[in-house]
Amino acid sequence: MTTPTIPSGAPADAKSPGIAHTGAPAEARPSGTTRIGLRAMERVVHDAIDHVPGTVRVQGTLKKLGGKDFPRLAIQMDPDTQMVAIDTAIAVAWPSPVTEVAAAVRSAIGQAVQDFCGYTPTRINVVVGHAEPSQQRVTSAQIAYAQPLTPRQPVARPLQVHAPSLLSTPDNESVREPVVAQSTAVRTPQVPQPTQTRPSETPRAVDVREPETPQALNVWEPEAPRPLSVREPKAPQALNVREPEAPQSVPLRVPQAPKPLKVSTPKAPRPVEAIWVDVPRPAPLRQIEVRPYSRQPRSEAR
């Protein structure tokens, strides 16, 4: 099997076997708008902060600032005018030049927003909210010579086209004729515009201070304590113990018997005379006759 290749330096109209090249003009491209989302802008700003030496990421836990994360972002975007305002709070490694780290973060954010998103920053506020202890010290030279976050340029690779090949078949099998595939339109790659590189700035000279010899300390010797006078204990004075006095005898009184009471004999009641009551004699009963009532006609009554 043969694999023809198209060299990278070949002209745009170079043709290869079985491939048709059709270049579409710029006027035929579809129209539309491109919007940058808030999450995409936050990702660009986060990567720009991470590329600055001296910045660290802090995950919020109960042991670190009450659960705050760093870096923190507050972004306001205007898609119509393509302007953006950014407020960020970062955490820096300590020891490090904090003011230079903050200035480098501001510059890196502004450059990354313009290069990746095409937005113009109107305000970039950087607040250093936390200092994380680090074993490695960050110097001003490392910040000055740090590589900025730049977009990667696409690299055009040669296109490999696999040509069909005929396999050997036994005599008793029929050989099918190959079907020629339709030609594929290949778009001409566009050469990207060269990126303007910023000239590197010479870092400022760093004043190195020599350590000063510490002054000798006056060491004072402790004074011996003064001897203390020990007083002998005095014997306590004897106490006068009084003997208890016997109480005076109290004469006993003999109880007197009570006077006898006079008992009066009850008198018998006087006899009561009985009064006889006269009972009236019973009257004889009269016999009552009941006659039936009969209604007589009026004629007979007359």
pLDDT band at 18; cut points 50, 70, 90: very low
Mean pLDDT of the chain: 78
At residue 230, does pLDDT exceed 90?
no
φ, ψ at 86 (rounded to 5°): -125, 130
Query: 42-56, 100-114, 178-192: which has the minimum mean pLDDT?
Result: 178-192
pLDDT tens digits for range 146-166: 888 877 777 777 777 777 665
Q: pLDDT tens digits for 53-76? A: 999 998 866 444 456 789 999 999
Sorting pLDDT into bands at 50, 70 and 90, what band is 78?
A: very high
Tokens linked to 261: 């009471």
Q: What are the helix (H) ranges across the chain?
A: 38-50, 98-112, 140-144, 298-301
- Per-residue model confidence (pLDDT) at position 63: 47
Element (H, E) at 186: strand 185-186
- Out of 7-21, 61-75, 267-281, pick the least confident: 7-21
**CATH 3.30.70.1350 is right for the domain spanning 38-145:** yes
